[in-house]
């Protein structure tokens, strides 16, 4: 892989960054790219503002716009070439990303086929990123136990019925039939804690540090950044396909067609409760993480690099500060990008526009932080995705980015 990078950068000048120098110290290049992006955006804003003032005095507003455009576009074009070259090293080329995804898909296909369980590599690595600070995220599902979203009857292939009464938007309770010693049928709600305790009890992982971390069974064994195994219960495809058919989108209709035609399970119930309380521990998060991975894999490379660059900014500027660490998450970035992609035509996402693209994404993210409101992408009733900590520390988040 390093050889491939050397070949791509062989035509660059002596002052260009070489991949052999970068790969051992990826964090240094990431920091450099982050600093360069923020500097260019900030400098460009200041220069354009001063230029508009000067030219408005000399030539009036119409003449000013005519004079501004060529110079600004030329400057941005040079900067875009420089940034795009760096992104191909930090995030990899489109061909390299595709190769990584195919390897992961083949690996999971070889080790995972059976009639009972299905595992996915999720998180940043499952999306195709290779950042050295990323942990390993595994999603484990039992395909023999499905959830029915119709609370009026039990689907023949489902063990659980989703009940949304008295639940917060985006959550549900899982009702199942339990037989007593006298064979009497009783209906009970599935507890998140008992579900995870059972997964730990039957886990084949004997590491001493295995523990429950949110909705995951986690350990640090074998990876310094951690290993998280999220156990989930899949929602039957009859219901997820019905949801997809009714969901309107402008940029991933090809994904909808593929998922529906192949009858892929893309919606799940995850043992994560709402932020503001669930005393009984019965509310389960309705997750779209498998669907989101399909959507991210459908991105063109500019869209994917914008997403990756926002992840870099999150790691370098937000998570590196004690006041803002663990406030914004990659999921907020992904949600922001999804909303932007609904509004900006696909033809705009080309390498020459990389600075404009990332600027649009960051502006949208900052507007959500300023308003302290991040709209859910799938569930309209679930209006705000920001946790309380984001709202409380919103000024520090903005200060961290703007001061940089």
Task: Decide if 232 is inside a domain.
Answer: yes
Specify which residues 163 forms β-bridges with: 173
Task: Decide if 372 is inside a domain.
Answer: yes
Tell whether 167 and 285 lie within a shared domain.
yes
Global confidence as pTM? 0.81
Task: Decide if 83 is inside a domain.
Answer: yes
Tell whether 133 and 215 lie within a shared domain.
yes
Residue 303: exposed, middle, or buried by beta-carbon count in 10 A (0-12, 13-18, 19+)? buried
Condensed to tens digits (0 to 9), the pLDDT of residues 264-300 reads 999 999 999 998 778 789 999 999 999 999 999 999 9
Q: Is the pLDDT of residue 344 over 60?
A: yes
Tell whether 166 and 45 lie within a shared domain.
no
How does residue 376 score in pLDDT terms, banded at 50, 70 and 90? Answer: very high
Task: Decide if 285 is inside a domain.
Answer: yes
Tell whether 14 and 69 lie within a shared domain.
yes
Q: How far apart are CA 192 and CA 328, in angstroms?
A: 25
- Determine the pLDDT at residue 379: 86
Task: Decide if 98 is inside a domain.
Answer: no
Tell whether 139 and 253 lie within a shared domain.
yes
Domain end residue (candidates: 73, 90, 107): 90
- Mean pLDDT of the residues in the chain: 80
Task: Decide if 214 is inside a domain.
Answer: yes
Tell whether 85 and 178 lie within a shared domain.
no
Owning domain of residue 185 = 115-292
Tell whether 156 and 64 lie within a shared domain.
no
Condensed to tens digits (0 to 9), the pLDDT of residues 86-140 reads 889 889 999 999 999 999 988 888 876 677 788 999 999 999 999 888 888 999 9
- Determine the pLDDT at residue 96: 95
Q: How far apart are CA 20 and CA 29, in angstroms?
A: 12
- Determine the pLDDT at residue 185: 65
Distances (CA, A) of 168 to 86, 92, 275, 282: 43, 40, 10, 12
Q: Which residues contact 398 (CB under 8 A, 6 or more apart)?
A: 366, 369, 370
- Determine the pLDDT at residue 201: 76
Tell whether 229 and 363 lie within a shared domain.
no
H-run or E-run covering 136: strand 136-142
Q: What angle do CA 167, 371, 300 make, to 5 degrees?
A: 85
Tell whether 282 and 313 lie within a shared domain.
no
Tell whether 371 and 235 lie within a shared domain.
no
For residue 236, the domain's CATH number is 3.30.460
- Number of domains the chain is built from: 3
Structure tokens at 10: 């062989």
- Give DSSP secondary structure letters for 32-99: HHHHHHHHHHHHHHHHHHHHHHHHHHHHHHHHHHHHHHHHHHHHHHHHHHHHHHHHHHHT--HHHHHH
Helix extents (H) in 92-249: 94-111, 123-127, 192-201, 237-246
**Length reported for the chain:** 404
Structure tokens at 71: 């110079």
Tell whether 307 and 281 lie within a shared domain.
no
- Determine the pLDDT at residue 202: 72
Condensed to tens digits (0 to 9), the pLDDT of residues 301-336 reads 999 999 999 999 898 889 988 888 889 999 999 999
Distances (CA, A) of 198 to 206, 207, 281: 15, 16, 15
Q: How far apart are CA 193 and CA 294, in angstroms?
A: 30
Tell whether 136 and 216 lie within a shared domain.
yes
How does residue 2 score in pLDDT terms, banded at 50, 70 and 90? Answer: very low
For residue 380, the domain's CATH number is 1.10.1410.40
Condensed to tens digits (0 to 9), the pLDDT of residues 211-220 reads 777 788 887 7
Determine contact, residues 76/358, Cβ cutoff 8 Å: no
């Amino acid at each position: 892989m390093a050889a491939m990078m050397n070949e791509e950068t062989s035509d660059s000048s002596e002052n260009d960054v070489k991949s052999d120098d970068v790969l051992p110290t990826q964090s240094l290049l990431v920091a450099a790219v982050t600093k360069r992006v923020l500097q260019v955006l900030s400098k460009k804003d200041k220069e354009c503002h001063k230029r508009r003032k000067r030219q408005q005095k000399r030539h009036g507003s119409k003449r000013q716009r005519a004079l501004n455009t060529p110079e600004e576009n030329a400057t941005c074009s040079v900067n875009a070439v420089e940034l795009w070259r760096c992104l191909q090293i930090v995030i990899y080329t489109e061909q390299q990303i595709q190769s990584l995804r195919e390897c992961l898909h083949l690996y999971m296909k070889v080790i995972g086929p059976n009639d009972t369980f299905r595992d996915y590599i999720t998180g940043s690595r499952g999306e195709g990123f290779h950042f050295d600070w990323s942990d390993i995220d595994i999603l484990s599902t039992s395909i023999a136990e499905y959830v029915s979203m119709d609370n009026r009857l039990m689907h023949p292939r489902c063990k659980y019925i989703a009940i949304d009464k008295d639940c917060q938007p985006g959550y549900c309770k899982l009702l199942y039939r339990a037989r007593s010693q006298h064979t009497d049928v009783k209906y009970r709600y599935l507890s998140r804690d008992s579900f995870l305790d059972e997964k730990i009890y039957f886990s084949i992982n004997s590491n001493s540090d295995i523990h429950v971390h949110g909705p995951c069974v986690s350990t640090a064994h074998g990876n310094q950044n951690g290993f998280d195994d999220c156990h989930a219960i899949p929602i039957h495809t009859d219901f997820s396909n019905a949801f997809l058919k009714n969901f309107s989108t402008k940029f991933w209709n090809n994904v909808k067609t593929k998922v529906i035609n192949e009858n892929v399970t893309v919606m799940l119930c995850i043992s994560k409760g709402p932020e503001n309380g669930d005393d009984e521990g019965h509310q389960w998060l309705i997750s779209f993480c498998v669907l989101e991975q399909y959507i991210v894999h459908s991105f063109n490379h500019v869209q994917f690099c914008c997403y990756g660059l926002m992840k870099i900014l999150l790691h370098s500027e937000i998570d590196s500060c004690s006041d803002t660490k663990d406030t914004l998450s990659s999921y907020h970035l992904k949600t922001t990008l999804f909303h932007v992609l609904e509004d900006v035509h696909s033809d705009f996402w080309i390498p020459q526009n990389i600075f404009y693209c990332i600027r649009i994404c960051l502006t949208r993210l900052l507007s959500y932080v300023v308003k302290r409101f991040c709209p859910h992408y799938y569930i309209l009733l679930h209006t705000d995705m920001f946790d309380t900590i984001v709202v409380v520390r919103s000024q520090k988040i903005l200060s961290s980015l703007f001061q940089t």
